[in-house]
Structure 1
Amino acid sequence: MLLQEKLINIIKEKCEKDPRVSACMMYGSFTKDEGDKYSDVEFYIFLKTAEIEEFQSDDWIRGVAPYDLHFINEFGSEVVVFSNLIRGEFHFQSESEIEVIKTFKETGVFPDTESMFIYDVTGRLEACLDYLQGEGPDRLTNNNVNFAFNNFVNTWIMGINVLKRGEAARSLECLTYVQKYVLQLIRVHEKSVERWLNATKNLEDDVSEKAYSEYTSITAKLDKEELYHAYSNALTVVERLECLLADHYKFDIDSAFLKKLHAYLTNRI
C-alpha cells in the first residue's frame, strides 16, 4: 500500500471518530485512478457550523501524521508537507457551505465520484457528488478557442517586448503563459481537452508525438537567443493551428495578423 493510501485511510478514520466533522470528500489523482507514490492527497472537510470558529486545523492535521510545514497558499488552501515529504492540501469549511462542491463541475471531468466520498453524516454529500457526474464542460467552443488565441497573442507580445527591452527573466515568465495557451489550442485540435485547466498534466500520454515535439520547441532556458527561438517557434505552431482550426471555429485573429507578429519578431529593435 502506498504511503498516500495509508494517509487517506487515517483521514477517513479520523473523520469518522471526530464529532466535529460533518462530511469529507477527496479530490485529485487518487479519485481518477492516477495516484502514485508522487501524488498529493487532497480533501474538503466540512465541520459543524458551531465548531468552525474554535477549530484548529493545525492540531487536527498533526493528528493525521507528523508534518514539517503547514501554511495557506495563494489560493487559500491549507498546504501541508508531511514529514515523509508527501504533500497534502486541505479545505476546512462549514457544513453549511457543502454546496460549494457543485461548483467543481465547471472545472473538469469527474469519472468516479464514488471514490471522492470519504465520510458524511449530513446526508448531503452524496447528492453533491452525484451532481458532478457525467461529461465535463464543453471546451470545444468558439469562445474557448478565441480565448486561447487572444491570450496567446497578449502574452506573446508582452514576452517579446520585455525581451527586446532586455528583461530576459521576465520574458521567460511570460513564456510559461504562451506555452499554456498553445497547449490549450493543441488539445482542442487533438480533442484532448479533459485537462484544459492543467494543460501540461500527463502531456506525454495525452497528445501526439508531433504535438509533444512542438511543445518541446517552445521551451527555453534563461538565454536571450533561446527565448527568441522559443517565441518564434510558438508563433509557427500557432500559425499551423490557426490554419487547422479555422474551418471549425470562429476567432478574431487570422494568418495576416500572425505574419505581422512574425515581422515584429524579426525586427529586433
Structure 2
Amino acid sequence: MPHDRPARARTAAPAPLPADALPLARRIALLRTTAEADPRVEGVLLYGSWTLGEADAHSDLDAYLYVREEDAAAFDGREFVERLAPLKLAYTNMYGILAVIFEDLMRGEFHVEPDGTGIAEIAGWRDQIHLPRPEAAVLLDRTGRLTAAARELAALTPPEPVATAQQLTDELANWTLMLAHVRARGEHARAHHLLHAVITPLQLKLCRLLRGSTAHWLTPSRALEADLPATDVERYATTTGPLTPEAVRTASANSWQWSRDLAAEAAHRWSVRLPSELHEEIARVLSSSSRS
C-alpha cells in the first residue's frame, strides 16, 4: 500500500528548552506519534515560538496538518486534536483555522489542509514565516515534499531598508492624519484604537529597521523589551494610555513626535523623502482640535 511507508522526516533534536516549556514539548511529541499512526495524515508542520526556539509556558501549539487529498473533506480536525488532550473549547476562528483550548489552558491553532495544494502553497510563505530549523518544524513527512518546502523558509531575508523605510514613513503620516481627524470629531475610542492597532506596529517596524533588529518583523511588539534599547521602549510607552480625551490627546502628540523622530533618522541614513510641510500641518491639526 502506498501509504504504509514509514515516516521519513522525524523531528531533529530541539535545542534545550526551559523547564516550563516541557508540557508543550510533551504535547508536540504526542502530536507526532498520533499523526504517524493516522494514515490519512501525510505531514505535520509546526510554526510559531517552538520553531524559533522561544517556547515557554505561555506558548501555543501551532501546526499545519496535511491530509491526503482524498481524505481532506471528511477529516475531522477536532476529533484528531482531541486525541492529544481533552478540550475546553474548539471552534473555527475568523480565519478559518481550528482554534482550541486544551484542559490545561494551552492554546492551539491547527490548519487542516489537503496535502497536495497545501504543501505547494508553502512556497508563497517566504518573508511571512521563518523556520530557522526546518527539520525541527517538520514532525511528519511521508513523502519528503514537506521537508523540502520547509527548507526554503530557513533563511530570513531582512526587509530592504530604503523602500521599506519610505513605505513606513508615508504610512505613518497618512494614518496619523486620520487619527487627528477622528479625534477632532470626538471619536476618542476610534483614535485610541488607531494608535494601538495601526500606528504603533508601523512605528515599531520602522524602529526595528533602524536598529537592525528585524527578527520579529511580522509581530513587531514581540520580545520588544529584549530586542530594542530601553530608550525606544520608553518612547513607545509614551504613545500608550487609557481611553480618556486627555490621555488620547497626549498619546497622539507623543506618537507623532516619535514618528517624526524615526522618520528623520531614516531620512538621514537612507535619504528617505519626507514631506516636511505636510508633517508640520499634521502636527498643527493634532494640536489645534477644539474637541480633543
TM-score of the pair, normalised by structure 2 = 0.87
1:11 maps to 31
Q: 2:255 aligned with 1:234, yes or no?
A: yes
2:137 maps to 116
How far apart, in 1, do the equivalents of 2:140 and 2:87 lie? 23
Q: 2:167 aligned with 1:147, yes or no?
A: yes
Shift of the alpha carbon at 1:261?
A: 1.2
How far apart, in 2, do the equivalents of 1:81 and 1:242 lie? 42
- Structure of greater relative contact order (alpha carbons < 8 Å, 6+ residues apart): 2
Query: Is the contact made by 1:27 and 1:43 (CA closer than 8 Å) also made in structure 2?
Result: yes
- Aligned amino acid, residue 259 of structure 1: E
2:277 maps to 256
Alignment of 1:103-252 (within 5 A): 103-136=124-157, 138-176=158-196, 177-252=198-273
Shift of the alpha carbon at 1:252?
A: 4.5
Shift of the alpha carbon at 1:15?
A: 0.6
Alignment of 1:84-103 (within 5 A): 84-97=104-117, 98-103=119-124
Deviations 1:15-63 (A, max 9, x none): 1100110011111101111000000011011011111111111111111
How far apart, in 1, do the equivalents of 2:71 and 2:271 lie? 52
How far apart, in 2, do the equivalents of 1:83 and 1:242 lie? 47
How far apart, in 2, do the equivalents of 1:109 and 1:84 lie? 28
Q: Which runs of 5+ in 2 are unaligned?
A: 1-18
Q: 2:71 aligned with 1:54, yes or no?
A: no
Query: Is the contact made by 1:49 and 1:94 (CA closer than 8 Å) also made in structure 2?
Result: yes
Query: Is the contact made by 1:242 and 1:254 (CA closer than 8 Å) also made in structure 2?
Result: no
Shift of the alpha carbon at 1:108?
A: 4.8
Query: Is the contact made by 1:32 and 1:110 (CA closer than 8 Å) also made in structure 2?
Result: yes
- Aligned amino acid, residue 46 of structure 2: M
Q: Which stretch shows the higher mean deviation, 207-216 or 162-171?
A: 162-171
1:69 maps to 89
Shift of the alpha carbon at 1:188?
A: 1.2
Q: Which runs of 5+ in 1 are unaligned?
A: none
Q: 1:197 to 1:159 in 2, by over 3 A?
A: same
Query: Is the contact made by 2:47 and 2:131 (CA closer than 8 Å) also made in structure 1?
Result: no
How far apart, in 1, do the equivalents of 2:239 and 2:217 lie? 19
Count of aligned positions: 268
How far apart, in 2, do the equivalents of 1:249 and 1:74 lie? 39
SS at match of 2:109: strand
Shift of the alpha carbon at 1:208?
A: 0.5
Query: Is the contact made by 1:24 and 1:45 (CA closer than 8 Å) also made in structure 2?
Result: yes
Q: 2:59 aligned with 1:39, yes or no?
A: yes
TM-score of the pair, normalised by structure 1 = 0.95
Shift of the alpha carbon at 1:76?
A: 2.2
Shift of the alpha carbon at 1:217?
A: 0.7
Deviations 1:204-246 (A, max 9, x none): 1000011111000101110111111111111111221122111
How far apart, in 1, do the equivalents of 2:211 and 2:46 lie? 30
**Percent of matched pairs sharing the same residue:** 26
Q: 1:105 to 1:46 in 2, by over 3 A?
A: same
How far apart, in 2, do the equivalents of 1:205 and 1:262 lie? 31
SS at match of 1:228: helix
- Aligned amino acid, residue 21 of structure 1: V
- Aligned amino acid, residue 234 of structure 1: S
How far apart, in 2, do the equivalents of 1:182 and 1:28 lie? 23
Q: CA RMSD in A?
A: 1.5
How far apart, in 2, do the equivalents of 1:108 and 1:50 lie? 28
